[in-house]
Structure 1
Amino acid sequence: MSEDFDAVVDDAQSRAVLGLAWGGVARFAEMLADQGELRGLIGPRELPRLWTRHVVNSAAVAQFLPAEGSVADVGSGAGLPGVVLALMRPELDVHLIEPMERRITWLSEVVEELDLDNVQLHHGRAEELHGRLKVSVATARAVAALDKLARMTLPLVEPGGRLLAQKGRRAAEEVSRADSVLRQLGGANVRIHEVDLLGDGDVTRVVEVLKTR
């Protein structure tokens, strides 16, 4: 682990965001700091801001999750946001979908280390699960543009469920470009939520799409 940054920042803000999951999330962050760059999960430039920009930031969608049901985290990669959400919401069934074998190996180690009995791993592309898996919510972070992401995720979502996609500053542009695709796939009532988790002005945009059919 690099000595140039703290893998975990123990402050009131992050504890308020993560609640009872703080300890598990902190352990996850330590694992990422130790192995993330070596295993191609996190770029070296991202390590100094691992805690705030990536780990705690993954909690941005938590407030939009249902009280019960299931979540599919598409393109889970290092486990962001899926592992964080599984720790925060142990009552939800969380499916981590990842096509790369080395990342599935990593996620398997994380699930075992953190004793996540509400997590199921799927080695493959989201499209391979169309017609086989239905969930209440699909999540994705830094996976693809919204039009492409909708094709990957919305077929996994049951009617009345939602897609929750973490996006950057161009979220509104992506929503506009994806309009026809979203309508074709039964997506409606699109909303862009601006979430400032730590109260520091660093806003995360969560695109919420209702699945109508």
Structure 2
Amino acid sequence: MTENGTQAQAEESGDRALGTSAPVREYFGTRYDQVAAFADKLRAEGELRGLIGPREVPRLWERHILNSAAVVPHLAQAGSVADVGSGAGLPGIVIAVMRPDVEVVLIEPMERRTAWLTEVSEDLGLTNVQVKRGRAEEYHDAFEVDAVTSRAVAALSKLARMSLPLVRRGGEMVVLKGRNVAQEIDPARKVLRSFRCGEPEILEGTTVEGVEPTTILKVRKGA
């Protein structure tokens, strides 16, 4: 086995241990079994089905599951959430598992990914999920939600144009972003003003000790 292969194997072993650890089980509580089933399915099929890259498999819990879970506390006031560009279901499926009381709409343009999202929702017994195939722009006049989220989809200016028409007045866009998201705010201000948005907040999403916090940007749409 090559040095890189040995390292990847060690990373995956550590990630599996993280996923079964007491802090992670405690963090997810009664929702743990469903989250773990999703992680197992994603680990087994994610790369093969083009949902995640091979380098992401060994760090699935830390970089994807817990990263997605970090947004959930920031959606506390939402009764309905749309996940734009849901892909593998990150963060949408994780949100749906952790918040069975919330209606979650997964929007994804690629057919093979919508097939995956439908399949995994059924496998996990999620009755609060709707899967919609298409781009977010195709649904601008179709429905509104309390909050819209996304992960690694587009720069803030483009993301706002895609996402904010889906949000009811007074609702929020709550998105997972990289550390340099502050640099995206000024180029997006014209778009945000057009939706009468308040000042964007950059927040830290934490989960369990030792796992890197997630950077979250939240902005409220004007009433």
TM-score past 0.5 threshold:
yes
Counterparts of 1:97 and 1:154 in 2: how far apart (Å)?
14
Task: Answer whether contact 1:188 1:209 (CA < 8 A) is retained.
Answer: yes
Map 1:140-159 → 2, pairs under 5 A? 140-159=150-169
- Report how many aligned residue pairs link the two structures: 211
Give yes or no for the alignment of 1:190 onto 2:206.
no
TM-aligned CA deviation for residue 75 of structure 1: 0.3
TM-aligned CA deviation for residue 181 of structure 1: 1.3
Matched with 1:167 is: 177
| TM-superposition CA deviations, 1:87-108 (whole Å, max 9, x none) | 0000000000000000001011
Give yes or no for the alignment of 1:19 onto 2:26.
no
TM-aligned CA deviation for residue 67 of structure 1: 4.2
Matched with 1:112 is: 122
| TM-superposition CA deviations, 1:33-81 (whole Å, max 9, x none) | 0100001001001111011110121011110113451000000000000
Give yes or no for the alignment of 1:47 onto 2:32.
no
Give yes or no for the alignment of 1:93 onto 2:103.
yes
If you compute each CA radius of gyration, which structure gives the higher value, 1 or 2?
A: 2
Report SS of the residue matched to 1:199.
coil
Matched with 2:218 is: 208
Identity %: 51
Task: Answer whether contact 2:67 2:213 (CA < 8 A) is retained.
Answer: no
Letter in 2 for 1:29: A
Report SS of the residue matched to 1:202.
coil
Task: Answer whether contact 1:75 1:143 (CA < 8 A) is retained.
Answer: yes
1:71 pairs, out of 81, 98, 112, with 81
1:131 pairs, out of 119, 134, 141, with 141
Counterparts of 1:186 and 1:138 in 2: how far apart (Å)?
16
Task: Answer whether contact 2:62 2:211 (CA < 8 A) is retained.
Answer: no
Task: Answer whether contact 1:24 1:87 (CA < 8 A) is retained.
Answer: yes
Give yes or no for the alignment of 1:10 onto 2:20.
yes
Q: Which runs of 5+ in 1 are unaligned?
A: none
Q: Which runs of 5+ in 2 are unaligned?
A: 1-7
TM-score normalised over the length of structure 1: 0.94
TM-aligned CA deviation for residue 171 of structure 1: 1.1
TM-aligned CA deviation for residue 200 of structure 1: 1.9
TM-score normalised over the length of structure 2: 0.90
